[in-house]
Structure 1
Amino acid sequence: MSEETERAEVTALQAALAAEHAAVYGYGVVGGRIGERRRPEARAAYDAHRARRDALVRAVRDLGAVPVAASAAYALPFPVADGTAAVRLAARLEQGVAGVYADLVRAATGARRAEAAGALREAAVRAVRWSGESVAFPGLAERSDERTGAAGTTSSASSSTTATTAPARR
């Protein structure tokens, strides 16, 4: 693997890790507001994102980089005062995660690329379950009707983090 390819992969891995940190945080909010009927679904998503986060930490370390740390808090894209807003947030989180995994699929090779594609698929399926809507190319804003990622900014491993992954300013 060339140095440039490895750098691109590490950048994409770090972006995916940052998104997973934000998703874990976001699902903490979702879990506190979601109705009892969908709570097991939220818990399963929370657990899945924690497992992906831990795997990404190992992958970044395996490439000799220092994994990005989680922020103490993250700015949410909108107020989450009830179960309806919690469902919307869960869908947004999954759409944002799908975007960074699409970037990782582009940057990675071999087994890591296959893992990223699996993570993209899982996030897209969860996004559909939460929102009730699908897009033709999940995670690829430039190919969908939306021109921006789930949080309102372009999803890209090389861009700044999205609003759902931006640390809260206090």
Structure 2
Amino acid sequence: MPPPHPELTATQAALDAEHAAVYGYGVVGGRITEAHRAEARAAYDAHRARRDALRRTVRDLGGKPRPAAAAYELPFPVPDAAAATRLAAELEDRVAAVYADLVRDGGEAGRTEAAAALREAAVRAVRWRGSGVAFPGLAERAAAGPSSPSASASANAL
């Protein structure tokens, strides 16, 4: 069996990341303060919309969209609003990193959409964290070492 096309692999990884983000924002929404609830809801809705679009893209590329996991392991405990805010920023950083891969491996239309998704995730991360990074989606990769789309989003980890 031939290896999957790089665009399909990167798109599946982005879909995996969006599944995890949707799950993660469910946790965020349960712990966030009322003042940030609308922002969390908007992010949740944005990730759901991206997830649904990626499902269609995977099908258009000839693949079968991977389903969401039943649960995901959080990167740290989320007992309160401060931790929920940190989790939201972490979710956005991780999504941005996967979209950076899709910018690299996507076709022309895929790159444009992935760049827009990366930008949106970077803006949300800045809002949650209060500061940004020079190269969203790439700074995290430099610290972690070389990565591939399949390694960037594991099945049950955020």
2:89 maps to a residue whose letter is A
Partner of 2:150: helix, strand, or coil?
Answer: coil
In structure 1, C-alpha distance between the alignment counterparts of 2:81 and 2:26, rounded to whole Å: 13
Partner of 1:159: helix, strand, or coil?
Answer: helix
Equivalent residue number for residue 67 of structure 1: 65
Deviation, 1:143, is 7.1
Deviation, 1:159, is 1.5
Equivalent residue number for residue 141 of structure 1: 139
1:96 aligns with 2:86: no
In structure 2, C-alpha distance between the alignment counterparts of 1:34 and 1:154, rounded to whole Å: 34
1:166 aligns with 2:122: no
Deviation, 1:124, is 0.3
Partner of 1:158: helix, strand, or coil?
Answer: helix
1:17 aligns with 2:15: yes
Structure 1 vs Structure 2 CA RMSD: 2.1
1:159 maps to a residue whose letter is A
> 1:11-38 CA distances to partner (integer Å, 9 max, x unpaired)?
0000000000000000000000000000
Compared CA separation, residues 92 and 142, structure 1 to 2 (3 A): closer
Compared CA separation, residues 167 and 132, structure 1 to 2 (3 A): closer
Normalization by structure 2: what TM-score? 0.92
Deviation, 1:156, is 3.2
Normalization by structure 1: what TM-score? 0.86
Equivalent residue number for residue 157 of structure 1: 149
| Structure 2 residue corresponding to 1:106, chosen from 104, 120, 124 | 104
1:27 maps to a residue whose letter is Y
In structure 2, C-alpha distance between the alignment counterparts of 1:46 and 1:24, rounded to whole Å: 6
Runs of 4+ in 1 over 2 A off after TM superposition: 141-144, 153-156, 165-168
Verify the 8 A CA contact 1:72 1:167 in the aligned structure 2: no
Deviation, 1:109, is 2.1
Higher relative contact order (CA 8 A, sep 6+): 2
Deviation, 1:142, is 6.4
Verify the 8 A CA contact 1:99 1:156 in the aligned structure 2: no
In structure 1, C-alpha distance between the alignment counterparts of 2:22 and 2:141, rounded to whole Å: 27
Structure 2 stretches lacking a partner, 5+ long: none
> 1:87-126 CA distances to partner (integer Å, 9 max, x unpaired)?
0000000000000000000001211110000000000000
Q: Which moved more, 1:132-141 or 1:98-107?
A: 132-141
1:122 aligns with 2:132: no
Residue-pair matches, total: 157
In structure 2, C-alpha distance between the alignment counterparts of 1:143 and 1:78, rounded to whole Å: 20
2:119 maps to a residue whose letter is R
